[in-house]
Amino acid sequence: MATPPFPPPQKQVGPSASWERGWEKPRGKRGRPGGAQQACLAAPLPLSQAPLPLALSPPTWLGAPSLSPGPGEYGPVFTVFLGLQRVVVLCGYQAVKEALVDQAEEFSGRGQLPAFSKDFNHHGIVFANGQRWQQLRRFSLTTLRNFGMGKRSIEERIQEEAQCLVEELRKAEGTPFDPTFLLSRAVSNVICSIVFGNRFEYSDEKFLRLNKLITERFCIASSTEAALYNIFPEIMEKIPGAHHAGHRCSQQIIGFIKERIQVQQASLDPCAPQNYIDCFLAKMEKEKHNPDSEFCMENLVMATFNLFFAGTETISTTLRFGFLILMKHPQVQEKLHKEIDRVIGAGRWPSADDRRQMPYMEAVLHEIQRFSDILPMSLPHALTRDTHFRGYAIPKGTYVYPLLSTVHYDAEHHASPEQFEPRRFLDSHGRFKTADAFMPFSAGKRLCLGEGLARMELFLFLTTILQAFTLTSPVPLGEVSIVPDASGVSRVPMRYQLLVVPRQA
């Protein structure tokens, strides 16, 4: 019996289209690839019937417009038109895992987002492919490890920065404040110490301006204009809006990075590199006669941008969501305080080794990441070769969106996923347990290369803050909203006011 054709496009964003001819399941005995026959696919919905793709995935209960299907509506694999481009969408843990982990090589390519391609032009790590991506990722992983990612040296830097943050929070003295840029400066200083070799004072106006640019760029990436730009870049390029402001933010950040590179280039000792930029410059000099080398100034600037941006905004956004959630759930915060008092007390700094004795903190951190789901769509993947997936033959170069929201909100793996419930990461004895359907750093060959650093930062920053303070809301808890302010490529919490109450030593 012939297998059914490749699932039809279920939605379209863009002008209504005529019937399409497209991919299909391979034919032949026992599902083996057969002839290259084409099947007629159902017509996609016209624009007037389809919502804008501000997010392909966030749950609608969070108030975000969504193209994500309802449970069982289209199945775990379907196509969708983004403008005139047909992409494959993966929903649910099993489909995403089979693609990114079980068939990691085939799904390891990176699709492009026009709103970011204008900034990076395929340079750096995140939006690169082929040899460029492989060389830069391998180098960056090795260099970050050599400078202490996951080791005690970087742990000490985070501990010291967390104490600086505590001292800044004490200055609030019972006055409500917006924690956005204070958190971003603390987190940013950690990656600055690795990439640039030094931290900045919180009072440094240039540093504050830089962090505001990073936060603004992250928010713009989730705007309606940016979503439309990714679908209709040629049209949106001619229309004013926030999507242009995003590029201007990026250019200012790039300008700051170039200034730092020039300073370090002038004082470089290739035999004794002090940070990531030094190591890259030394590698450039070593391979300057190698025509196949990807170590050039353009890739240094953009790789530094990748590390600086991801190492600042994703972690600080997760912490902002975490603070907001803990304000909303004081009973969770109370349990965390008891665990901190029992394991650490007030007489020493929290350390990474404490995590093994703090199952509830570990569970809360995992639930904050699952619940906040700050990268709901992931970034687009691209097939590196013609691929058979779940019985379908999909051409090389096809863009694939693994919807991480449908992993984190997969009801088959997370009971009542719309509820914040740390106990889902605890067994019946109160011990921490992992969950398969948990991919805040993506999975497979495109797994975030800073995962180890991010996990350590989240634990040490949150534990240190809760050791010193109780986080409270200046407004009634019923008025505390967890609905994101923006939800697209990324999800950003609404700006809010926070009160920190010192705990008794």
Q: Which residues are annotated as a binding site?
A: 448
The residue whose two tokens read 């391998």 is 138
Q: Quick check: 475 and 467 in contact, CB under 8 A?
A: no
How many angstroms separate the CA atoms of 94 and 80, rounded?
Answer: 20
For residue 4, CA distances in Å to 74, 78, 95, 325, 439 come to: 14, 13, 18, 45, 31
Half-sphere exposure for 23 (CA within 13 Å, toward CB): 25
How many angstroms separate the CA atoms of 436 and 93, rounded?
Answer: 8
Binding residues for heme: 448
Measured in whole angstroms, the distance separating CA 140 from the mean position of its chain's CA atoms is 18
Helix 180-195 to helix 152-170 angle (10° resolution) is 150
Q: Would you state the structure tokens that stand for residue 323, as one six-digit string?
A: 């603070």
Q: Quick check: 380 and 111 in contact, CB under 8 A?
A: yes
Angle made by CA atoms 138, 130, 95, in degrees to the nearest 5: 90
Q: Quick check: 6 and 37 in contact, CB under 8 A?
A: no
Question: Coil, helix or strand for 344?
Answer: coil
The residue whose two tokens read 């779940």 is 390
**DSSP assignment of 139-160, as one string?**
HHHHHHHHTTTTSHHHHHHHHH
Within 10 Å of residue 324's Cβ, how many Cβ atoms? 22
Q: Provide the residue type at 434 as one letter.
A: T
Q: Quick check: 229 and 115 in contact, CB under 8 A?
A: yes
